[in-house]
Amino acid sequence: MDEQQIRQALQAVIHPKLKKSLIDIGMIRNISIHDDVVTLNLALKSKRSPLKNVFIRQIEKALVGLPGISAVQVDVIALCHEEFHQLFPRAPLKGVEKVKQFLAVASGKGGVGKTTIAVNVALALAQQGYLVGLLDADVYGPSLPVMMGISEALEMKDNMIIPKEKHGLRVMSLGMTTGRNEAFIWRGPLVSKMIHQLLDQVAWGELDYLVIDLPPGTGDPSIAIANALPHCSILMVTTPQEVALADVRRAIELFRKTGQPFVGLVENMSYFLCEHSAKPIEIFGHGGGEQLSKETGFPLLGTLPIDLELQQSGDSGIPLLVSSEGSASVDVFQKIAKRIADQTQ
């Protein structure tokens, strides 16, 4: 027996979903014959795949008993990320099929002003002429309705949720589906399912950008977005102190493993300007964003001060880019948005 005869015999081993032989789609590889033993690799999504034993039995049945073959040794290997998605492409998400660019705003730590930055970067992009949607993917503590001043109930059309239009943005948050003080109690699989629905069953329409406000940390929502949107760009938010940088590094490592591109970093709460002094007061330390930029190679797109107007605008439901056009922070947001657009358009 030679390799060509072995390959011919393996045509009988068919993938139940793809309806093609494993040999033709490259899931059987590196065939070799030594004396009367055939050795080959079986490439699966995971070495723990439930189909592993089924395929091994079918391979053995196809080969053992052929003239000169007494045994088969099957070594299971894992398909790489790109190979798996070539073989099993995801069904398109209906809700976002007309969205050109995805931008997820992330941090490893809570309390760094990530939602505030997501809202105002989205508004800055809209003010620069782009069609922009804003998705609150914090399924545990959605705060976007408060910051955007949205209290109206959601509507459905043709079995799709219609996002709310506010300040030139299309906005969707789970916080619009329940009372302001109700708690969301989600566990792993439900989180991924809910994120999928927010992308698939919301009628986002044609958008240049969908800005996604992720919850802090490296848990299920971030992983679900990374899996659903492999080309989603990541904007990381930090504050200057080391404890925030440590958490951001962990989040960066997550998105590196999933292959997401990074557009850069934003340092929030960099300093405070007191009316009695022109010298910035660095309450949370100095240079954290610059340090992280040097470590990672990601550009530092902007540094934002501790701005009382910024905080008050979030509480009032009228974001800073709507309420205070002359603020120094507004200029920073506009520059951040311009640098993001320069990279992604």
pLDDT at 223: 85
Closest CA relative to residue 190, chosen from 229, 139, 145, 244? 139
Q: Is 80 exceeded by the pLDDT of residue 229?
A: yes
Q: Is 90 exceeded by the pLDDT of residue 65?
A: no
Vertex 141 angle, CA 136 and 146, to 5° = 65
Average pLDDT, the chain: 85
**Does this model's pTM top 0.85?**
no
Q: Is 60 exceeded by the pLDDT of residue 261?
A: yes
Closest CA relative to residue 216, chosen from 194, 187, 197, 236? 236
Q: Is 60 exceeded by the pLDDT of residue 216?
A: yes
Strands 28-34 and 37-44: antiparallel
In the chain, what are the domains? 3-87 (3.30.300.130), 94-344 (3.40.50.300)
Lowest mean pLDDT among 10-24, 61-75, 211-225: 211-225
| DSSP character at residue 136 | E
Q: Is 60 exceeded by the pLDDT of residue 262?
A: yes
- 8: tokens are 């011919």
Q: Is 70 exceeded by the pLDDT of residue 305?
A: yes
Q: Find residue 173's DSSP bridge partners.
A: 136
Mean pLDDT across 228-234:
88
Residue 245: pLDDT band with limits 50, 70, 90: confident
Q: Is 60 exceeded by the pLDDT of residue 178?
A: no
pLDDT at 248: 85
Q: Is 80 exceeded by the pLDDT of residue 286?
A: no
At residue 233, φ and ψ (nearest 5 deg) are -80, 150
Mean pLDDT across 60-89:
88
Q: Is 70 exceeded by the pLDDT of residue 274?
A: no
